[in-house]
């Protein structure tokens, strides 16, 4: 109730300010649950969202995953210049995965319509030729091999289900649903389960809700808390973000203190097999915590928000992109300082990396889809303004990835196989074998696909395909969860060996049904 009263007061204040100052601000009708804004303002806010996201990802790009489990100190310079975005488009196009996935989904909405089924989005992104990683790449492989959504994103089929992927791709859903959080969540349900589940999916729902609510208020605490109300309280994602909010209230002037508390209490993960025994953490909830730290401690200052979200480390390009995009929607493009716009405006008319559309095209498409959704959700589109029916955020269903799975052991092997089989003996209830097909003759392009028979406890249970092609590769050689706890024998038989290729096994991760215990309880 307190949040509802605060929301009403905030919206009412915006309306008074708009009348008093004759500025381009939203006028809300308070108790009626409607939000009225001019079309010009709506366009400006949409442009601000996409611009903020593009500026933010470029800003944080050079530090991406260079600072794992540590913050980026103030003496570490972060580069920016007037041609930086165009330059990065050309030199590092893969950096923009958190934007070109958004653009893919926007394209499908335009081609197929707002009611496009999940399969339309899944097939489009699976057949694109851009680079993908983690949950996205695992989902691409699943889809290309007949595992369609939502199974393609479920943790039993995708070891990266809790990773950040949909969290960094849900911006479009919130941007086109101003004040309509539940409509945004429906898009998240349809699209986010292509590649994620549980906390990984909640990351997208939360970010979409932040964007939706950023149209209705400039009270950052309000929009963060209201967005979090969509996430089930029993989830680890909810608990992580709730702690960040609480710690900010306790210590509103020192973001590093909150960062330390996040690391102490929420940096453990059990999903991504690359991170469970490593300082690398691409988990959605940890990186969402960094987004919220940037927003709350940045206090609506565009640079400060990006800088803090970046200096939290880990996925330090995606997190400032999300935070800056939300601020861009909240204040509109006009609110972004001129210093950042020179590089952005130089690139707005260029085709986005791996895409056939420009940022200017995306602004127009998102505006078009937003008007359609406003009308679809019982709002009004007038000649010069829109009237939006505000939606009270609803809680999405509870999901939990890797239930009953606890990391037990990693064996960092780095073995290359040419004629022998991979043999793994382990004790637990799950295993992930990390690795890939390697060329032995330096070729960078080939359609070769290794065929691997999976023998578990003496029985062939399936055959998996391991493409050499990086775009359609299988992200991990093999994984199996929810086995009966105990001793298991895994043998991977390469049935179509090729003299020009080898099978590289980087490591294995073993899971158990019980949390790991101290192996040396009597040590001093």
Cα first-last separation, the chain: 52
| Residue labelled with tokens 């939290």 | 312
The CA distance from 130 to 135, in Å, is: 15
Residue 517 has what pLDDT? Answer: 75
C-beta of residue 144 within 8 angstroms of C-beta of residue 384 = no
CA distances from 234 to 27, 231, 239, 407, 513 (A): 36, 9, 7, 21, 20
- DSSP symbol at 161: T
**Does an H or E element contain 207, and which?**
helix 199-214
CATH architecture assigned to 2-389 = Orthogonal Bundle (1.10)
Q: How far apart are CA 95 and CA 310, in angstroms?
A: 15
Mean pLDDT of 435-440: 95
Confidence of residue 487 (pLDDT cuts 50, 70, 90): very high
Least reliable range by pLDDT among 24-38, 306-320, 409-423, 444-458: 24-38
Listed in order, strand segments (DSSP E) in 340-472 are 380-381, 385-389, 406-417, 422-428, 430-439, 449-456, 459-467
- Which of these, 97, 124, 128, 96, lies nearest to 108 by C-alpha position? 124
Q: Are 332 and 24 in contact (CB under 8 A)?
A: yes
* CATH number of this structure's domain 406-512: 2.60.120.260
The mean of the pLDDT values for the chain is 92
Torsion angle of C-alpha atoms 97, 309, 56, 134, degrees rounded to 10: 0
pLDDT (mean) for 79-89: 96
Q: Which tokens in the block code for residue 240?
A: 């992580």
* Alpha helices (H) in 22-133, listed in sequence order: 39-60, 84-91, 97-112, 118-127
Reduced to 3 states, what is the DSSP secondary structure of residue 65? coil
Q: In percent, how much of the chain has pLDDT > 70? A: 92
User: Does the structure show a pLDDT above 90 at 455?
Assistant: yes
Mean pLDDT of 377-395: 97
Query: What is the pTM assigned to this prediction?
Result: 0.92
29: phi then psi, degrees, rounded to nearest 5: -100, 25
Residue 501 has pLDDT above 80, yes or no: yes
Q: What is the mean pLDDT of residues 96-107?
A: 92
**Rounded to the nearest 5°, which phi and psi values hold at 371?**
-60, -40
- Whether omega for the bond prior to residue 150 falls within 30 degrees of 0, making it cis, is yes
Residue range 218-243: mean pLDDT, rounded: 98
pLDDT at 26 over 90: no
Domain coordinates in residue numbering, the chain = 2-389, 406-512
Classify burial at 384, counting beta carbons within 10 Å of its beta carbon; exposed 0-12, middle 13-18, buried 19 or more.
Answer: exposed
Helices within 22-93 (DSSP H only): 39-60, 84-91
* Cα dihedral 281, 286, 292, 298 sign: negative
Between CA 239 and CA 285 the distance in angstroms is: 9
Q: Which percentage of the chain shows pLDDT scores above 90?
A: 89
With cut-offs at 50, 70 and 90, classify the pLDDT of residue 323: very high
């Amino acid at each position: 109730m307190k949040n509802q009263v605060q929301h009403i007061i905030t919206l009412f204040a915006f309306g008074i300010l708009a009348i008093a100052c004759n500025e381009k601000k939203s006028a809300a009708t308070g108790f009626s649950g409607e939000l009225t804004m001019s079309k010009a303002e709506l366009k400006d806010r949409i442009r601000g969202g996409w611009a903020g996201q593009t500026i933010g990802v470029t800003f944080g790009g050079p530090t991406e995953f260079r600072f794992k489990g540590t913050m980026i100190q103030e003496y570490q310079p972060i580069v920016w210049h007037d041609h930086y975005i165009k330059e990065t488009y050309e030199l590092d196009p893969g950096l923009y995965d958190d934007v070109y996935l958004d653009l893919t989904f926007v394209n499908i909405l335009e081609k197929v319509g707002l009611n496009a089924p999940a399969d339309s989005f899944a097939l489009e992104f699976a057949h694109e030729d851009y680079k993908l990683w983690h949950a996205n790449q695992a989902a691409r492989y699943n889809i290309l091999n007949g595992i369609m959504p939502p199974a393609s994103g479920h943790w039993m089929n995708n070891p990266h289900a809790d990773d950040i992927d949909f969290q960094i791709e849900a911006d479009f859903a919130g941007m086109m649903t101003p004040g309509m959080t539940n409509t945004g969540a429906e898009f998240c349900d349809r699209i986010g389960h292509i590649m994620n589940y549980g906390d990984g999916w909640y990351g997208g729902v939360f970010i979409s809700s932040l964007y939706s609510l950023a149209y209705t208020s400039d009270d950052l605490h309000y929009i963060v808390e209201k967005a979090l109300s969509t996430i089930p309280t029993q989830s680890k994602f909810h608990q992580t973000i709730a702690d960040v909010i609480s710690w900010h209230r306790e210590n509103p002037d020192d973001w590093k203190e909150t960062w330390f508390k996040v690391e102490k209490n929420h940096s453990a993960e059990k999903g991504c097999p690359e991170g469970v025994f490593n300082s690398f953490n691409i988990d959605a909830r940890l990186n969402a915590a960094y987004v919220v730290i940037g927003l709350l401690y940045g206090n609506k200052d565009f640079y400060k928000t990006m800088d803090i979200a970046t200096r939290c480390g880990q996925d330090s390009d995606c997190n400032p992109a999300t935070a800056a995009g939300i601020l861009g929607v909240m204040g509109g493009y006009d609110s972004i300082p001129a210093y950042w716009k020179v590089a952005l405006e130089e690139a707005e008319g260029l085709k986005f990396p791996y895409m056939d559309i420009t940022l200017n095209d995306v602004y127009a498409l998102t505006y078009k889809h937003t008007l359609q959704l406003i009308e679809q959700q019982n709002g009004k589109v007038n000649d010069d303004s829109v009237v939006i029916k505000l939606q009270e955020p609803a809680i999405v269903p509870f999901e939990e990835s890797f239930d009953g799975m606890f990391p037990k052991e990693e064996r960092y092997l780095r073995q290359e196989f040419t004629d022998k089989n991979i043999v793994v003996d382990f004790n637990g209830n799950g295993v992930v074998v990390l690795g890939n097909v390697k060329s032995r003759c330096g070729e960078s392009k080939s359609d070769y696909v290794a065929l691997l028979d999976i023998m578990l406890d003496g029985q062939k249970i399936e055959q998996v395909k391991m493409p050499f092609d990086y775009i359609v590769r299988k992200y991990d050689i093999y994984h199996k969860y929810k086995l009966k706890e105990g001793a298991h024998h895994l043998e991977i038989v390469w049935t179509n060996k090729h003299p020009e290729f080898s099978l590289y096994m980087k490591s294995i991760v073993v899971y158990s049904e019980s949390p790991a215990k101290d192996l040396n309880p009597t040590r001093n």
